[in-house]
Amino acid sequence: MGSESKPVKGAAKVASVKGVDLNEIYSENVVAKIYQVAQRGLKQKAPLPTYPETVLQEGEGIGKYQYRDAEFWTCGFFPGSIYTILERAVRFPRSLNIPGHYGLSFTEQTLRLGRHWSVAINEMSGRTDTHDMGFIVQPALQKDWELTGNLESLQSVVKAAYALASRWDDRVKAIRSWDVAINHRYSFTNMETDFLVIIDSICNLDLLYYVGHNQNDQSLIDIATQHADTIMKAILRPDYSSYHLVNFDPTTGEPKAKLTNQGYRDDSTWTRGQAWAIMGFAQTYTWTKDIRFLETAIKCTQYFLGRLAECEGRHHHHLVPAWDFDALPDDPSEPLRDVSAGVIAANGLLIIHQSLQSLPIAVSAQLFSLETNYLDIALQIVEATLDMSLDGDFASFERGNTKTVNGTGAGVEEEIRVEESGFEAILKHSTANHNEHAHKRHENHGLVYADYYLLEFGNKLLRAGFV
């Protein structure tokens, strides 16, 4: 499994940008893998109680998604992957490599799948117990609103933004990320004495900006910008590397401790955290046009790229990041990777490239070194990721007739049959959490948001007209 590939049918189209072959991002395989898992969800009544997160690469359960309770922060990414496929079907049908006879039924079925997987997301849109509302609602519900005009989805996105804003503290000038943090090393459970903020939170600000502009509510925009300022001051280091977790004193607003929860150690740079910083500050700039945020995104990127460059010659595929830049690998020639960090960073690099392109050349040249082409680097990271980590057990769609589900024949009731893969994720080699003090460590596996951000990268290229 994984070493021998079934041929991908219908993948004759070639997608490349600047000579980089991106065919696999748009292949029948990636669409069929999403369908393989998504259609099983139709056998359960919505709202679904659990959502896909990791795919084991060895041991019992190899190749199959491990599911987490619907309330877990990653719940939005698999529905989001369905909606990346729907966006291609609706806006960029030429990018879809699927059997031609499916036609409109494919778009209808994809929307049906997306709506089914989004019921639980809609129902939890008012949660005030988490800062991850952007990750939860935007990948699917924002796309559902934008592609179909579904007002229920927009209402849920709006509701989620106000729920997120309810976690704002004016003294700390930040949104509380976690209510508690417990591992084998520390236990923060008292919200009156501990105010926890993580680097990931920079990416949930996009929700506040989106709804703030949609609803003409400046308060949401101001909260987002002030939170971004706090991240810059308290979580970024002078060299623009990042801490993972900062514990503030809620009575003074000052940091008490700077720690890690998922990285190697407190003073190391957890690569996915650095990738969140790149993407989050790039997103913040696109909303605010405050050049400080673009400068910060670029400086975080330069740190990230500098650390990747240090790995050239040490091991293969040096552009596929290790899980932590400072972790000491057991085998230096084969470090533990986190491909999710690479594809998240690539999304941020593409945003940076577009932001620089929108500035007058004189302004860009004055403010930034133009020696680095961020589009080129993003493409190289994704190219290396596909070469190293694309699972080789491909899925495809069966040729022939579709079949009705439950035999009713009413409405859109067709199931598009899949020749399934034995490995349900698109990419291998992610590491969700390898911190030595974690209650449970997850390493070297498929990961739902690695796949989502790979697909989203492909869609960003389509929207920008690069493909």
- Whether 65 and 51 have beta carbons less than 8 Å apart is answered as no
Residue of higher predicted confidence among 3 and 379 = 379
Residue 210 has pLDDT above 80, yes or no: yes
Q: Over the stretch 284-304, which tens digit does the pLDDT of each residue have? A: 999 999 999 999 999 999 999
Q: How many CB atoms are closer than 10 A to CB 140?
A: 29
Cα–Cα distance between 140 and 436 in angstroms, integer? 33
Cα–Cα distance between 254 and 248 in angstroms, integer? 5
Residue 202 has pLDDT above 80, yes or no: yes
CA distances from 11 to 30, 31, 335, 367 (A): 11, 11, 33, 43
Q: Over the stretch 308-346, which tens digit does the pLDDT of each residue have? A: 999 999 999 999 999 999 999 989 999 999 999 999 999
Cα–Cα distance between 33 and 37 in angstroms, integer? 7
pTM assigned to the model: 0.95
pLDDT given at position 282: 99
DSSP string, 321-368: -BSBTT---SSTTSPPB-HHHHHHHHHHHHHHHHHHHHS-HHHHHHHS
Cα–Cα distance between 458 and 467 in angstroms, integer? 9
Lowest mean pLDDT, pick from 117-121, 261-265, 363-367, 420-424: 363-367
Residue 106 has pLDDT above 90, yes or no: yes
Cβ neighbours for 5, distance < 8 A, ≥ 6 positions apart:
392, 393, 394
pLDDT given at position 402: 53
Cα–Cα distance between 244 and 258 in angstroms, integer? 8
What number is the average pLDDT over the span 248-260?
99
- Cα diameter, the chain: 67
* List of domains in the chain: 16-464 (1.50.10.10)
pLDDT given at position 368: 80
Share of the chain above pLDDT 90, in %: 88
pLDDT given at position 8: 42
The per-residue pLDDT of the chain, averaged, comes to: 94
Cα–Cα distance between 169 and 99 in angstroms, integer? 52
pLDDT given at position 411: 42
- Whether 195 and 249 have beta carbons less than 8 Å apart is answered as yes
Cα–Cα distance between 344 and 353 in angstroms, integer? 15
The three state secondary structure string of 80-139 is HHHHHHHHHHHHCHHHCCCCHHHHHHHHHHHHHHHHHHHHHHHHCCCCCCCCCHHHHHHH
Confidence of residue 14 (pLDDT cuts 50, 70, 90): low
Tokens of 88: 């291609």
pLDDT given at position 1: 36
Tokens of 314: 């040490």
Residue of higher predicted confidence among 56 and 102 = 56
pLDDT given at position 13: 60
Share of the chain above pLDDT 70, in %: 94
Q: How many CB atoms are closer than 10 A to CB 213?
A: 13
pLDDT given at position 207: 99
- Whether 58 and 68 have beta carbons less than 8 Å apart is answered as no
Residue 241 has pLDDT above 80, yes or no: yes
Q: Over the stretch 357-414, which tens digit does the pLDDT of each residue have? A: 999 988 888 878 777 899 999 999 999 999 999 999 999 999 865 555 443 333 444 6
